[in-house]
Chains A and B, each alone.
Chain A
Amino acid sequence: MCGREAAGFFPTIFGRRTWFASGVCAFAVLLLMAFAWLFISGSRLTSWEGFASLSRQPWFWRSVKLTLYTALATTALAAVLGVPAAYALSRFDFPGKKAAEVVFLSLLVLPASSVGLMLMVALQYPPVRLLQDSLHIRIVHSLPGVVVAQLVLALAFGVVAWRVAFDQIHPVYEHVGRTLGASSGRVFFNLTLPMAGKGILTGAILAFSRAMAEFGAVLILCSTFRFRDPGRFSAVSKFLGIDRADILAVAMWMEMEEGQMERGMALAFIMLGLTAVFVYVLIKMKKRAFHEYTGS
């Protein structure tokens, strides 16, 4: 009864079809249906007209661009900071490493409202404000603030993934590379980084999608831009066409607050679609990572 060939539509664990396997799979199917229904039932609140009206909004395409640009900038910043940090955490022992790990982990589970508020207070704190003044930049309530607010979670997600990517590469490759005469920096760029390529990309996708999804910290730190005086935007943001617009998540919240359910729901579906693509790519990449160097 329990042939391996039975694996298919019927619940099996290692090819055995039993009540236990069925029961366990029922949980997965139940949750699958619940999530699917959660997303499908949203269609009741919107229609094609919602999407059409959304695309007619003057701010919509600017919002899309803003989301894309800020998320890209955040990912780049997170990579510059996070990849070396993840490498250090993966390879070296230094005093306070445990504490540093706890700090990086905590970023994952801080409420966005606290993150936004604490960033706000810290950025308005006299020494930091003086520094901003002397450099003629403003972070709070301005577009760079969006990147700062997104950076916290993007960095946290990225570092976790990048660290795993480096952990999976045995340091012996670096040791061999160095006995052949390469310095530790060269070994990192020549050997470790290419070998960890897939993992680095995974972390970058995670950081990007997390940056795109960030809402709370951005709302508190930067408030909204849509109704702001055009004169308060820099020439750069006007040139890029991202002025007087909010990132998609904030825009969605504003539409809901204003009672524009149809447009808000349409935005939610857009974000759902984008995230689904990312999740799908991540799952595919994880699967392929096993066959990467095994020579199949």
Chain B
Amino acid sequence: MSGPWSSRVLKSHSWHALLAGTVACVVAVALFITLANTLYLGWHDFYFYMTKMRTWLSFTNTLWTSLLSAFLSLLLAVPAGYALSRHRFPFADAVQTILFLPVLISPCAVGVFLLACCRAIPVQPLTEALGLRLDHALPGVILAQCTVICSFGILLSKTAFDGVAGKFEHVSHSLGAGEAGTFFRVVLPMAKNGLFASFVLMWARAAAEWESLMIFVGAIQGRTDVLPLAVYLDFTSGRLGFALSMSLLCLLLAMTGMVAVRLLGGRHHVWS
């Protein structure tokens, strides 16, 4: 007969402690990194840089470009995600591979491809006709953000629609509703939370986009000031204070977004 604290009990407790320990370890490291940066920067400096116009310019630029990109991408991605979820395409695997490539490929490579693409038809004639400038300008930033998050959005919204069982559509059709009616009145409301969460994730991802911008748009101060790019520029030009305070701002943005995702409870996992 074993007592309440037999060795087996201790073993099972230590197993749980080990598991929770890994979580605690990662969270602690993340906290330490944030803390070390905050301490290094110091509260006064943080406050000082926060009152600078330049920081807020980058912040507002990031906010509106990423929101616009997320919105545009969502408009494209939701129908595409629905189509992928319900329609069987010929060569489905190849189609999906191409559509989901920008999610996993190095954003840096996306930048390289965008660079090449913008000198080809139909992009170049189009931008010339519209008088739009892509390199060293914010429209280029938006294009790069859209390219990266659009495919992310297709993946997320496909997952959200996969979560809505087809039987609801069958029932709706049997009650006499058409395709569009069913989509807007049954499928969309049911996938609502997942799509909201997708939007927030896309927005946060767009706000964090940097590598493709660096190659495609080019980093020029005062023209393409978004936070991630400004962090890099200030870092290379030795203005560590600006870079750090803007990094912390980015962190804050990311955390806010992810709290929202967590509250919306959408499925943020997409591959499995």
Classify A-B as touching or not with yes or no (CB < 8 A).
yes
* A positions within 8 Å CB-CB of B: 7-9, 11-14, 16, 18-21, 23-25, 27-28, 30-32, 35-39, 41-45, 81-82, 84-85, 87-89, 91-92, 94, 96-114, 117-119, 121-122, 125, 128, 155, 160-161, 163-165, 168, 183-185, 188, 199, 202-203, 206, 209-210, 212-216, 220, 249, 252-253, 256, 264-265, 268, 271-272, 275-276, 278-280, 282-284, 286-287, 289
Once the chains are docked, how many angstroms separate the CA of A185 from the CA of B170?
45
Q: Is B47 an interface residue (CB 8 A)?
A: no
Distance in angstroms from A79 CB to nearest chain B CB is: 11
A110 in contact with B116 (CB, 8 Å)? no
Interface residues of B in 93-112 (CB under 8 A from A): 93-109, 112
Please report whether the interface of chain B is mostly helix, strand, loop or mixed according to DSSP.
Answer: helix
Please report whether the interface of chain A is mostly helix, strand, loop or mixed according to DSSP.
Answer: helix
Once the chains are docked, how many angstroms separate the CA of A53 from the CA of B145?
32
Q: Is B133 an interface residue (CB 8 A)?
A: no
How many chain B residues sit at the interface, stated as a range, is: 35 or more
CB-CB nearest in chain A for B88: A7
Stretch at the interface among B49-57, B79-87, B134-142: B79-87
- Of A11, A121, A282, which is in contact with the most chain B CB atoms at under 10 Å from its CB? A121
A28 in contact with B80 (CB, 8 Å)? yes
Q: Is B223 an interface residue (CB 8 A)?
A: no
Once the chains are docked, how many angstroms separate the CA of A276 from the CA of B93?
11
A117 in contact with B235 (CB, 8 Å)? yes
Once the chains are docked, how many angstroms separate the CA of A96 from the CA of B239?
36
- Given the interface pairs A109-B204, A275-B105, the reply to whether A31 lies near B255 with Cβ below 8 Å is no
Once the chains are docked, how many angstroms separate the CA of A8 from the CA of B88?
7
Distance in angstroms from B8 CB to nearest chain A CB is: 7
Interface residues of B in 226-243 (CB under 8 A from A): 227-229, 231-232, 235, 243
- Given the interface pairs A32-B98, A118-B37, the reply to whether A164 lies near B269 with Cβ below 8 Å is yes
**Chain B residues, Cβ within 8 Å of A113:** 210, 228-229, 231-232, 235, 247
Distance in angstroms from A121 CB to nearest chain B CB is: 5
**Chain A residues, Cβ within 8 Å of B109:** 213, 249, 252, 268, 271-272, 275
A24 in contact with B79 (CB, 8 Å)? yes
List 20 other contacts, CB 8 Å, given A45-B115, A88-B23.
A35-B98, A39-B113, A42-B116, A44-B120, A85-B19, A94-B23, A100-B23, A100-B24, A102-B255, A105-B268, A111-B227, A113-B228, A114-B251, A122-B32, A215-B108, A268-B109, A272-B101, A279-B97, A279-B104, A283-B96
**Chain B residues, Cβ within 8 Å of A42:** 112-113, 116-117
- Given the interface pairs A35-B99, A109-B204, A220-B232, the reply to whether A85 lies near B26 with Cβ below 8 Å is yes
Interface residues of B in 131-172 (CB under 8 A from A): 147, 150-151, 154, 166, 169-170
Once the chains are docked, how many angstroms separate the CA of A107 from the CA of B258?
10
**Chain A residues, Cβ within 8 Å of B90:** 8-9
* B positions within 8 Å CB-CB of A: 8, 11-12, 15-16, 18-20, 22-27, 30, 32-34, 36-37, 39-40, 76-77, 79-80, 82-84, 86-90, 93-109, 112-117, 119-120, 147, 150-151, 154, 166, 169-170, 173, 178-180, 183, 201, 204-205, 207-211, 214-215, 227-229, 231-232, 235, 243-244, 246-247, 250-251, 254-255, 257-259, 261-262, 268-269, 271-272
Q: Looking at the complex, which one of B113, B170, B257, B272 makes contact with A168 (CB distance below 8 Å)?
A: B272
Distance in angstroms from A109 CB to nearest chain B CB is: 4
**Chain A residues, Cβ within 8 Å of B178:** 18, 20
Once the chains are docked, how many angstroms separate the CA of A96 from the CA of B28?
12
Once the chains are docked, how many angstroms separate the CA of A50 from the CA of B27?
44
Distance in angstroms from B108 CB to nearest chain A CB is: 4
